[in-house]
Chain A
Amino acid sequence: MNTMPETPEITLEQANKLSCYHCGDVCNKGTTLVYQNKPFCCEGCKTVFDLLDQNGMCTYYDFENNPGITIKTRDFKHRFDYLDNPDVIEKLIDFSDGKICKISFYIPAIHCTSCIWLLENLHKLEPGVVSSEVNFLKKTASFTYDLSLISLKKLVELISSVGYEPEITLDQTSDKKIHSDRSFIYKIGVAGFCFGNIMLFSFPEYFHLDDVIDPGFRPFFGYLNLILALPVLLYSGSGYFISAYTGLKQRIVNIDVPLSLGIAVMFIRSSYEIISGTGAGFMDALAGLVFFLLIGKWFQNRSYKALSFERDYKSYFPLSVTRIENNKEVSCTIDSLKEGDIILVRNNELIPADAILLDGHAYIDYSFVTGESQLVFKKSGDKLFAGGKQTGGIIRLQLLKTVSQSYLTSLWNHEVFQKKTSLHLSSRTNKVSKYFTLIVLIIALSAAGYWMWVDSSKALNAFTAVLIITCPCALALTVPFTFGNSLRIMGRNHLYLKNADIIEEMAKIDVIVFDKTGTITHPESGKVVYEGDALSNKELKIIKTAVQSSTHPLSKSIEKFLNVEAIYPHPEVIEHPGKGLECMGVKIGSYVFTTGQIQQEDVDFTASDVHVSVNGLYKGRFRIQNVYREGLKELVGRLKQRYQIHILSGDNDGERKNLEQLFGTDTPLRFRQTPEMKLQYIQQLQQKGYHVMMLGDGLNDAGALKQSNVGFAVTGKNGTFFPACDGMLRSDSLIKLDALMQQAVKSMDTVKYSFIISLTYNVIGLSFAVRSALEPVIAAILMPISSVSVIAFTVLLTSWFARKLKL
């Protein structure tokens, strides 16, 4: 029966080059294992595989290769304790009748078909789960579970254990979003329904059939159109009127003003014509206009579903915190915290509110707030600010403010995170619409004035005709469709932009600044090899402790490499900038620092060496490889044709020769850059009048990313979001950077062409309108055609450009 040949046994040695069967990462020495003749990169992956295998769920692996997710921490012991708190539970669940509960989570790890399959078949793993449903684009999953069989905490532990840890945050109100989306769809449905039917009933008018059929039908169809147009005007189109009104109240003429004007005039004139029997009206054009406009908006909104950059501070904070009440540790929700409360913050946890440190060793990472990743050491009595992350042991804090009053919130709403934006296209569209409205009114009045003089019966006709036909719909449709399509194309190439305006900024860039570590170097680099005498476990722990409190890229590489726990509470670590670290007798750093002697050997240019000595005795060195991304040289060659390139690195200049080889000797290279220096460098460039784009890995570059005109965070597979960046570029898409920049430039060109086309339509339409010769059929033809052609033109042109750019 078994027709497949026996697969050879894989040895551990062989497994070390293969990709993990579960998650696809390359198996590293030390944690690789082989199980059921398959390679796994770590115990975690093998455990998940085992779990699925024993429950007959290996179909998980059938849909995609290596669909699994590496789990960083397998210790869920106390992670989800707060889910036992009934207040928290009540906040989170959508529905409960005492037995069956329903809850939805945002699970950022969802990325493929297998994820959907596994999460929706969770009931096979755990009978307490009644059903589950995934929304792939939004990366959410909703679970219905039986309270008597499984608790919320166990449910979350279960899905976390297979790699799909949910992000549970304070900001869990998703209800309003759904309702606003739905009301939008209703509006489109109504507009479409009325549009189709009105056009149908206008056929006799188009074909001038009133000579052929009973003239009594004309008013019949007329009134039908009138009735059908009412919901379009009052319901579907209401958004535009409201927006125009609010804009005018603030003395701003936005694009919705001429739109509303056109719609209103259309309705009034048509109603008059129908009721007085003098004509058939323009109801079809009205309904069509509103319908196409709504479709444009829907298209634009569609692009943003999966990426919510619209998160305020609340979504970054954890849901609950450990508070000390009556000398007992109690889990409580974050908004129940009051001034004076005493809380515990553990390693890697966020400080929820401004507080005073009571005891514990506090090494705070404020990079989230300020972009400064230098750890700040605080002692008892010092003030700690909300948003800082503790790296170290447990600390006890007493709150000075509530969460919402804290410094972080005000900072967040402060201009620090709001970029000063130059006039963006959307506001440029508004500016154009101001002139547009003015010009249209002038033309309308002149036409009316002319006819008053020559043949006054046509004056009103001409006036209203001009207002009707000069539709700014091309203006209103161009931008959403062009940018919407380009956003979609870029997203497909794993560049996710915060909003459509970024495309306009991208097109203006003339200088690109690269961060070195993690951006142009391959993520696999930072590959560490240790050469020398074996180090004892204790020594390794000391080294780990030392590198943990340093933010130097080499320290981070060593930290990742060492598979031991650091020592808590942190002993004292002295950092000698430019030389090394010293902790409990162990010295790590440059050769001269660790041994006191100058190095004799040739310095190896592709590796950065970190030497180790214990109590004065030289032990060996960590050699850290810098592997540059494939295709980088060619990318740089292409980019240099249009942009100036600069490199900023926090590392020392050991890499200078390599970088010069890749980037050319005319590229400015700066080494040993602190986050502040990077920010200043960008500022200086901007002062010279350049538009600067910065690419960094987000951690050390938050300030520079903020400062630059366009800041992209280059991230790994599961990008971590940084509020300072304008977009996220997946690291393997970096080589497409030049194509993506070109796409932005071409999108702007498309917008220009589209405006010209719309102008042409308007001129044609005006030629009828000023002669007072605008028949309903002409308007009915011209307006949908102009809308559809603008849509088709912008979408097709941007897609065509993308195809040429091989995006």
Chain B
Amino acid sequence: MSVIYILIAISLVLAGVFLVSFFQAVKHGQFDDDHTPGIRVLFEDEVIKTTNNQK
């Protein structure tokens, strides 16, 4: 059971990595706007439209 010490240490380190990446994401402004990216996803990539194209 003493392997638990190692396991917990590893899990803490892993969780810490996620925490740090969370901080990085915040620092890069990912959470500054949580509404607009959702709308942006729905924009389609533009297909070059000629005047003959009908929707």
* Chain A contacts to B: CB under 8 angstroms: 1-4, 56, 59, 113, 116-117, 120, 133-138, 178, 181-182, 185-186, 189-190, 193, 197, 201, 213-214, 217, 220, 224
CB contact between B54 and one of A4, A135, A213, A214 (< 8 Å): that residue = A4
Which 8 residue pairs are nearest across A and B when measured between Cβ atoms?
Answer: A136-B36, A135-B33, A137-B35, A193-B19, A189-B22, A136-B35, A185-B26, A113-B39
Q: Mark B14-55, 1 if CB is under 8 A from A, else 0.
A: 010001001100110001110110011011101011001010
A798 to chain B, nearest CB (A): 22
Contact B49 A56 (CB under 8 A): yes
Smallest CB-CB separation from B46: which chain A residue?
A59
Chain A residues with Cβ under 8 A from B36's Cβ?
Answer: 116, 133-137
Q: A182 vs B27: C-alpha distance in the bound complex, in angstroms? A: 8
Say yes or no: A136-B39 contact (C-beta < 8 A), given A186-B23, A189-B19, A189-B22. Answer: yes
Partner pick for A137 among B4, B27, B33, B49, CB 8 A cutoff: B33
B residues bordering A, Cβ < 8 Å?
1-2, 4-5, 8, 12, 15, 19, 22-23, 26-27, 31-33, 35-36, 39-40, 42-44, 46, 48-49, 52, 54
Q: Given the complex, which residues of B lie within 8 Å of A178, measured CB to CB?
A: 32
Residues of chain A within 8 A of B43, CB atoms compared: 117, 120
The smallest beta-carbon distance between A302 and chain B, in angstroms, is 9
Question: Which of A56, A116, A138 sits near B40, CB closer than 8 Å?
Answer: A116
Measured between alpha carbons, how far is A213 from B2 in the docked complex, in Å? 10
Distance (Å) between the CB of A187 and the closest chain B CB? Answer: 11
* Alpha-carbon distance A792/B3, docked complex (angstroms): 40
How far is B40's CA from A289's CA once the two chains are assembled, in angstroms? 36
Candidates B4, B31, B52; contact of A217 at CB < 8 Å: B4
| Bound complex: CA A536 to CA B43 (Å) | 52
- A185 to B39 alpha-carbon distance, docked (Å): 22
Partner of A181, one of B4, B22, B32, B44: B32
Q: Inside 8 A of B26's CB, which chain A residues have their CB?
A: 182, 185-186, 189
Q: Give Cα A714 to B49, complex, Å.
A: 43
Quick check: A190 and B33 within 8 Å, CB to CB? no
Q: Decide if B39 touches A116 in the complex (CB within 8 Å).
A: yes
Could you say which residues of chain B place their CB within 8 Å of the CB of A134?
A: 36
B20 to chain A, nearest CB (A): 10
Bound state CA distance, A214 and B48, in angstroms? 70
Contacts of A133 in B (CB 8 A): 36
Cα-based distance from A201 to B15 in the complex (angstroms):
13
Q: Which residue of A lies closest to B16 (CB)?
A: A193
Task: Find out whether the CB atom of B5 lies under 8 angstroms from the CB atom of A220.
Answer: yes
Known: A120-B40, A224-B8. A213 touches B1 (CB 8 A): yes
Q: CB-nearest residue of chain B relative to A138?
A: B33
24 contacts between A and B (CB under 8 A): A1-B52, A1-B54, A2-B54, A3-B54, A56-B46, A56-B48, A59-B46, A116-B36, A116-B40, A120-B43, A133-B36, A135-B35, A136-B33, A137-B33, A137-B35, A178-B32, A182-B32, A186-B23, A189-B26, A193-B19, A197-B15, A201-B8, A214-B1, A217-B4
Bound-complex Cα distance A213 to B15 (A): 25
How far apart sit A193 and B20, CA to CA, in the bound complex (Å)? 11
Q: Do B23 and A189 touch (CB < 8 A)?
A: yes
Interfacial chain A residues near B19, Cβ < 8 Å: 189-190, 193
Report the minimal beta-carbon distance from B36 to chain A, rounded to whole angstroms: 4
Which A residues are CB-close (under 8 A) to B54? 1-4
Please, how many angstroms separate the alpha-carbon atoms of A117 and B40 in the complex? Answer: 8
CA distance A2 to B54 in the complex (A): 7
B16 smallest CB distance to A (angstroms) = 8
Question: How distant is the Cα of A120 from the Cα of B27 in the complex, in angstroms?
Answer: 23
- Give every chain B residue within 8 A of A217 (Cβ-Cβ): 4
**A135, B49: Cβ atoms closer than 8 Å:** no
CB distance from A736 to the nearest CB of B (A): 24
Not counting A1-B54, A135-B32, A137-B33, a sample of 4 additional A-B residue pairs whose C-beta atoms are within 8 angstroms of each other reads A4-B54, A117-B43, A135-B33, A181-B32
Distance in angstroms from A462 CB to nearest chain B CB is 34
Q: Which residues of A contact B22 (CB under 8 A)?
A: 189
Q: Which residue of A lies closest to B42 (CB)?
A: A113
- Chain B residues positioned under 8 Å from A214 (CB to CB): 1-2
Instruction: Report the separation of the CA atoms of residues A401 and B52 in the bound assembly, to the nearest whole angstrom.
Output: 64
Within the complex, the shortest CB–CB distance from B33 to chain A, in Å, comes to 5
CB distance from B12 to the nearest CB of A (A): 7
Query: How many Å from the CB of A306 to the closest CB on chain B?
Result: 9
